Structure 1
Amino acid sequence: MRISSRVIGGVVVAALLTQLTACGSIFFPDRRGQIDGKIDPMIAVLDAVGLLFYVIPGLIAFGVDFATGAIYFPPGKTAQIAPEKLREAIGADGKVDNSKLQAILESELGRSFPLNDPRLIQHKGSVQQLAMYGLIPAA
């Protein structure tokens, strides 16, 4: 009987300690220091699970994650590609070949983009924008 109470006590102490340190701060320490942003649902759900089982530690987990900013997604990252490399995707008629553009983006950025998606909204650029990148309008 004494061993089982020690095991149960150890499990309860371990569970309380993990909830007191907050999930987002443990899983994503690089997110600390953010002020605002979009809330990561995975961290919010993990904090809510702590709230369901242990009310006080769950509230502390939410408080710590909000106070440190670990509950927010990291800010958007940007990437740039030299205009000279993008010229390969422009055809002789001045239209952009989506398959060539997708291949360039995948090779340069290491990510795939759904350029063939029918929901994709394409905006036309102005002559000034093309001149800014050193491109000559052709059409």
Structure 2
Amino acid sequence: MRMHTRIIGGVLAASLLTQLTACGTLFFPDRRGQIEGRIDPVIAALDAVGILFYVIPGLIAFGIDFATGAIYLPGGTSAQVDPQALQNLVDADGQIDNAKLKVLIEQSTGHSLPLDDPRLIRHSGSIEQLAAYGLRPAA
């Protein structure tokens, strides 16, 4: 019986320790320092489990994750492309040259996209969509 209570006590101490150090800070230390963003549902659920079992440590875990920013998903990156450079991609028929587009994206972002993939689905925009962004159709 003595060994049984030691095992239960050890498991309880280990789980309290992990809850006090906060799940997001423990699992994703590279996310610390973020100010805002979308909340990671996995980290929020793990912190919520801490509230279910141990109210105070679970609240502390939420507080630490929000304070350090570890609860937020990593921020997305975006790149801007000069509209004049995009004009050079359109041929006389108004079609976009995929090879030139791929080179432009690779130069602007540093990532190579598989624009020649047969599974690629191309969507055409409409005049209404352009107007929503304050743009005029010109080809």
The two structures have a TM-score, normalised by structure 2, of: 0.66
List per-residue Cα deviations over 1:57-81 (Å, max 9, x = no partner). 1111001001111111222212467
List per-residue Cα deviations over 1:102-130 (Å, max 9, x = no partner). x9369x62567996276977648669xxx
Residue 119 to residue 35, structure 1, CA distance change in 2 (3 Å): farther
Residue 27 to residue 41, structure 1, CA distance change in 2 (3 Å): same
2:61 aligns with 61
Q: Does the CA contact (< 8 Å) of 1:37 and 1:72 recur in 2? A: yes
1:94 aligns with 94
The separation in 1 between residues aligned to 2:44 and 2:2, in whole angstroms, is 37
Gapped runs of 5+ residues in structure 1?
128-136
Q: CA deviation at 1:96?
A: 2.3
Aligned residue pairs: how many?
Answer: 126
Counterparts of 1:1-139 in structure 2 under 5 Å? 1-79=1-79, 90-96=90-96, 100=98, 104=102, 109-110=111-112, 116=121, 123=130, 139=139
The separation in 1 between residues aligned to 2:30 and 2:49, in whole angstroms, is 23
Residue 42 to residue 123, structure 1, CA distance change in 2 (3 Å): farther
Identity percentage of aligned residues: 57
Gapped runs of 5+ residues in structure 2?
none
| RMSD, aligned α-carbons | 3.7
1:134 aligns with none
The two structures have a TM-score, normalised by structure 1, of: 0.66
Residue 66 of structure 2 aligns to a residue whose secondary structure is helix
Q: Does the CA contact (< 8 Å) of 1:21 and 1:61 recur in 2? A: yes
Q: Choose 116-125 or 87-96, whichever is displaced more.
A: 116-125
